[in-house]
A and B are shown apart, each in its own frame.
Chain A
């Protein structure tokens, strides 16, 4: 909800934290400051509701309305409830489809070209839910928030549905005529005027088609552009090895990880796999794999940095110096680098000693927003420490044609301006929005005589092109895609195009004169050659079933950094002055998901912002510039200006302003248009990630943020528990003074199944995949920014973010909070109509039909996990009816709701087991959040079964319950966070 305006007396907060009089864990600056506004907020449930309710109401009017409601309420009972409903069976039932039973089909989604295996659950032919594919190496069953939300993108009613020519509706035959004409005209000139613009391409079949196109039109050119590109990664490989090489990290074998503003857990190709492997090494009580140690050096918080045992906050220029120092010290660079003066030398010395002690078992990874020299240095350090072949593997590039996007796009614009481009095909790249302002693609597009855009939405690029062809969603077409390690997946359509979309394959085929081509047949033919399988039909069905083409991972190559790579490195950036850091958004990516309501309303892990981006600045910088939360500032860079609201972010490097990409869209449908500010207006090709020379000036006005920061505050001690590995091994963790289970009432014996959940604070990386998975599974509506600001966000599961320690470089903890399913549930005793009651498995269940909306239960819930439908959010949701999960009730206005432990899944499993007269096996039921979690932080099962995973977790000494002093006996418990800091580094 809205942050109450803070008199941000930051120096006072610093003093308070230093004296340790304040709380050890804190959520926000306001909480730390204990401002009066904050203290008032803490006392209230649904705080701004009181203000809203009294407007325009006096007591007399209220009583009149209540009396009328009571009198008329009974009348609804006089009407027969339902109209005549119908049953419409198939004419011919498709084989295998059983009404009421789900079916599952494998395919893959892609992000910046790289594939992640998914399995879609279908009911009666409708895809309803996305899950990770356990057989796919880039997923292993986990998924990301973006992957989870892809199903909403499929059903999005605001996707383009018609072909348009110059903004007017055009027919399919007009499109075909145009393509035939263009093909003929271009053929005459050997394609000299033909240009193709795509995103990153890893699809072997698309690459083959483009090859065929280049053979047919030898003079054409293929350009590629991704706003969130991997140019620096490729450039780094070029610097180190002399050519482009992809690296595949093995976090499972790394005893020591150094992340240089690493996106290994959030955005790097293969991040879901990396997260799984990383988390597997962060289990303090797993005797088989000792806990790894993690260092992070970064300018802006990352998900990996939040898990770090030592997190060094530095400006981009200092990171370059620091990594040179590390390289020099481990003999991966000139020895005089070892004497570079850098801040935080003591920590770096500890890091260097640790790296040398873990030769062959350490891993250095840098994020794509780091400059090329950092990537080259990482390769050199990994090589010098014998990481190659152990923790890092090198493979030939997965992309079909690794291309520098900025150069490629600039060449295209130069060609257009020189009049060398006659026909431009843009396949799925919203370049008019995402291209750096200084490249000027938007102006250039208007000069192209024939521009054809294949895009899912009528977006900024569609507006500037002559033709707009609606693109098919990934779940609507035949294609293929490769993952971070080269593993190929054949993508099969999950449903016929809902809105008449076409695939890139189809358009290219038409251009190649294969007008009657069928994508599936063409794909089969390609794979028949590529696979070389003796029994092709078997290969094909097995590849489709498993979602993975067997043995298609790239073979490792053997390369070594050039010995003289250091001489070629560009000099480090200047460290003085303000810098602007552009970073991809965890939900919107480069802006392509801006019209996805789930991703817009997903609270970002660090800022907890929804429906907004902000100029994220460090507390120290805010102090220096006299800025407060929600102030408006004007960012000026190279003569371009942009106004943005300020968000003070602990853990951000001083003098660095982070701005997330993907906001401020002009044409993103009713959901995404005009949300946030457009960072691309400042971005230039030269400084794609880190731009020095920023000027920042406060301007008048304040911004209303919809942040989940103060939302659902809990009052209590020890919500988070944290310790260190040293303490854990040295002496037994101090058990909290045991809470007494004393009660006046006899206890209830749960002698059958007792469902319970355990969430590991060590494994949770705050990626929000579970939040979106829960939203998809449980029909949770989107409420919009205004309602979020009023504290009415509907998510059943939230991930609280806590800080520990100093304002400028705090440690971060993520804590997912679903319903605790208390055995002594405080909500139940206050419900006047018994709408929330217990069942014999110990679930605290909501009976929606009994609920009359008193909200007493929510007021009495100490964990603040209950959500109320203040309006008919579900009814107002524009998504098509058929996209809701039929296994879960869609709640109406005036009804309370909350996490059910995915009761539809437990009930279904119990029915299946009961039919076979067998007990439910451990792991047979996965809740939606558990299934989505890439790190397996969430374990769910029967705690009465002592062999079950959840019972074993709960038996650990690290297990604790939130607010157990209230004697609520929650079924959801947490695993204490354990850090593994280097004992030789004294933390200040």
Chain B
């Protein structure tokens, strides 16, 4: 009767064991790494837009306040997108014939809205409210990244629930004085009130901020 295990049996066993280990490591790496890659988080995602609007030019260059266009940000859950008329307050006077602004002029002439592609999308079961974040000293750039320096708007944060919770568990390091909320280039300085002082000033109680019902209804 021939031997059950041939001369190469050990070799094959080792190959199988090593590759099984490799597969497990690869799977674990996939599970841990893949969700945090740009592919999954969309960080850096720059969707094409009908007009290549530059926040860098309008905000950092010209010094427009965020609220000039996003008018509802202090009152409503929605920050608000500017109606075509807002664009035309200036662009009826300057760059009136610029080719890149043709869709804006067309929108006004045909009374058809511009269709911007969403950069930040939340699932339908998340009820985010801009106004309360702004009122409690969360600056625009906390979520929107260096928006004032973006020639084209890209997604700067993952919007994962874990990312939301990082701040809801410990909001103090993310707070700013009220007057700095809309400053795209704000940095903490020596004269800035301490995070603890800001927490007290804004009456923030992190213990209740992680309730499911804060965001989900």
Binding site for B on A (CB under 8 A): 81-82, 84-93, 98-101, 752, 837, 839-841, 843, 845, 847-849, 887-890, 900, 903-904, 907, 911, 914-915, 917
Contacts and interface: CB of A to CB of B under 8 A. Distances in A.
Contacts of A84: 47, 117-118
B127 A98 contact: no
Interface stretch (B12-20, B69-77, B162-170): B69-77
Given A91-B107, A99-B80, A911-B132, A839 B116 contact: no
B116 A88 contact: yes
Interface of B: 47, 71-72, 75-78, 80-85, 107-108, 111-118, 121, 123-125, 127, 129, 131-132, 135-136, 203, 205, 207-208, 211-214, 216-217
A100 B212 contact: no
Contacts of A90: 83-85, 113
A91 B116 contact: no
Contacts, number: 121
B213 A903 contact: yes
Given A840-B211, A900-B217, A914-B203, A87 B81 contact: yes
Contacts of A840: 207-208, 211
B112 to A, nearest CB: 7
10 contacts: A87-B117, A87-B118, A89-B82, A90-B85, A91-B112, A99-B80, A839-B212, A841-B213, A900-B217, A914-B203
A841 B117 CA distance: 38
Contacts of A88: 113-116
Contact of A89 (B81, B121, B216): B81
A245 to B, nearest CB: 51
Contacts of A915: 131-132, 135
A677 to B, nearest CB: 42
A91 B216 contact: no
Contacts of A752: 205, 208
Nearest to A92: B85
Contacts of A911: 129, 131-132
B83 A91 contact: yes
A915 B76 CA distance: 11
B125 A92 contact: no
Given A81-B123, A99-B78, A914-B132, A91 B212 contact: no
Nearest to B40: A80
A93 B89 CA distance: 13
A-B CB proximity, top 3 nearest = A839-B211, A100-B78, A100-B76
Nearest to B205: A752
Contacts of B72: 98-101
Contacts of B131: 911, 915
A85 B123 CA distance: 11
Given A99-B80, A907-B127, A845 B216 contact: yes
Contact of A93 (B75, B76, B85, B111): B85
B53 to A, nearest CB: 12
A887 B126 CA distance: 10
A99 B213 CA distance: 22
A450 B114 CA distance: 49
B111 A91 contact: yes
A100 B127 CA distance: 11
Contacts of A904: 127, 217
A976 B75 CA distance: 43
Contact of A845 (B75, B81, B203, B211): B211
A263 B107 CA distance: 57
A89 B205 CA distance: 35
Contacts of A99: 72, 76, 78, 80-81
Contacts of A82: 121, 123
B92 to A, nearest CB: 13
Contact of B212 (A87, A98, A101, A847): A847
B217 A903 contact: yes
A851 to B, nearest CB: 11
